[in-house]
Copies of this chain bind each other. A is one copy, B any other.
Amino acid sequence: MPAAHSQSAGTAISPTRADDFAGWYQEVVRAAELATMAHVRGCMVIRPWGYRMWELMQAELDLQIRARRHSNVYFPLFIPLSYLQSEASHVEGFAKEMAVVTHHRLDSVNGVLVPAGPLEEPLVVRPTSETIFGRSMSEWIHSYRDLPMRLNQWCNVVRWEMRPRVFLRTTEFLWQEGHTAHDSEAAAMADALDAHEMYRTFAEDFLCIPTVPGEKSASERFPGAVSSYTIEAMMQDGRAVQAGTSHYLGQNFARAADIDFLDRKDERQHAHTTSFGISTRLIGAVIMTHGDDDGLVLPPAIAPSQVVIVPILRGESSGAVLAYAHQVAAALTGPDGINPDRVLVETSEQRATDLRWSYVKKGVPVIAEVGPRDLASRTVTYRVRLDHHALRTAGFDDLRAAMAAALREVHEGLLQQARIRLREGIHSDITTLGEMEQFFRSRRGFVLGAWCGEPDCEAALKPLAVSIRCIPQHLEAPGEACVVDGRPKRFSALFGQSY
């Protein structure tokens, strides 16, 4: 793709967002070297740049989860089929997408390896772990004194995906799953809502992704939950991404797994449980929220390199320029500065222009170029990713402040841009099914409308590929008649199309 390396090509990514958003997305993933869909249908290889983004998300969220008195644990990858069957609606929800292990050996038959050692009971590769956490909780919990119990794990899960799409819908993905048990509905609900709020602030403050928080409708709930909460983000093409969910599971899983305890009156009760999770799908949400026609644009908090310094090495000044580049890096780091891991001096043999473009596509917030002239004037020339065609200059002594300001500018710029897009993308002027049809045929976005609360109205939207994303917590739809069938409004609903 030499065109992608040339500024004269106009845009680095082809196609553009406007031409073909899905194609643009795939090309950004490729050009930024985030991941490849390879080897096994629906599974991805997460490459160093993409994986580092995930590690940075993990590090921050793990702190927040631990601050909420969760302990990290690790549960088995394999779940006995019988566990899943103990919660009927749960297994029904996942049965169509489960990888099943049936053998534990390969035998060579006429030189061909075939599965052997059939298992007595097939094992399912975990699609989620409520049932297996539940069984252990039932062993560990005896009294109200053992509650609340809060456990979390970071792991891989598998949900067989017929229409895979990198990061957004993959057969295997990485995620975090929190599981808690409590002595009352109120206590459990408080934890579910606290996780919900944690996700909302994490997405907004860390990923610069504002979302609409709300409750899922009954038909969109997690299989087996009493209530599910979601944060819904809007991508640049107007589609919705469910960016993190938390669930109040009532006593459903506690009954299925016998999680019970003696309460303060010495009476036996079933615990109330919750679960909550976010996944590598968030990487997809970051790409589609912030990316532009030149590639990925990264919120500084998850940029593997926040500042890349490209020394212009030519002829006899090379040694001095390289030394100066390292001086610049050193000036940026140190106590109260940027983490040394997040400043890169790029010294590979490629042309400086090519290098710069590769980091533009990788979404690096600040790209500095340091050449003989910068050395002579003790300045640094740099570009901020939001407007990377503009050159800026900072004196060596102002470097740290200038870079800190540039990173703040990127963070605030991305957040602001996404907030405006979300606000402008929510349409409250649609009052009938006909208008809804017309809207989603011509464009995309969210529709905030009245809903009677009946599932048949949700079903009626299926041909439009529209679903209720959530019942928003802080948004009120105008109108008193259900936008689908005109019956009296029971809820304000956010309608949209998802990936």
Contact = CB atoms under 8 A, between A and B. Distances in A.
Nearest to A66: B341
Interface stretch (A107-115, A261-269, A402-410, A462-470): A107-115
Given A51-B72, A73-B45, A136-B36, A172 B78 contact: yes
Nearest to A43: B76
A78 B160 CA distance: 12
A145 interface: yes
B95 A104 contact: no
A46 interface: yes
Interface of A: 36, 38-40, 43-48, 51-52, 54-55, 71-81, 83-85, 91, 95-108, 113, 115, 117, 122-125, 132, 135-136, 139, 145, 151, 155-156, 158, 160, 172, 174, 349
12 contacts: A39-B76, A39-B83, A39-B135, A45-B136, A52-B72, A78-B99, A95-B113, A97-B104, A100-B102, A100-B104, A100-B105, A102-B103
Contacts of A71: 48, 51-52
Contact of A45 (B36, B76, B81): B76
Contact of A76 (B40, B91, B349): B40
Given A100-B103, A102-B100, A76 B44 contact: yes
Contacts of A125: 77, 101, 125
B47 A77 contact: no
Contact of A151 (B43, B48, B145, B155): B48
Contacts of A174: 74
Contacts of A105: 95-98, 100, 160
Given A75-B45, A76-B45, A40 B100 contact: no
Question: Closest 9 CB pairs between A and B?
Answer: A48-B71, A43-B76, A46-B74, A100-B103, A104-B160, A95-B106, A100-B115, A102-B102, A40-B78
A77 B158 contact: yes
Nearest to A96: B105
A125 B107 CA distance: 16
A174 B136 CA distance: 19
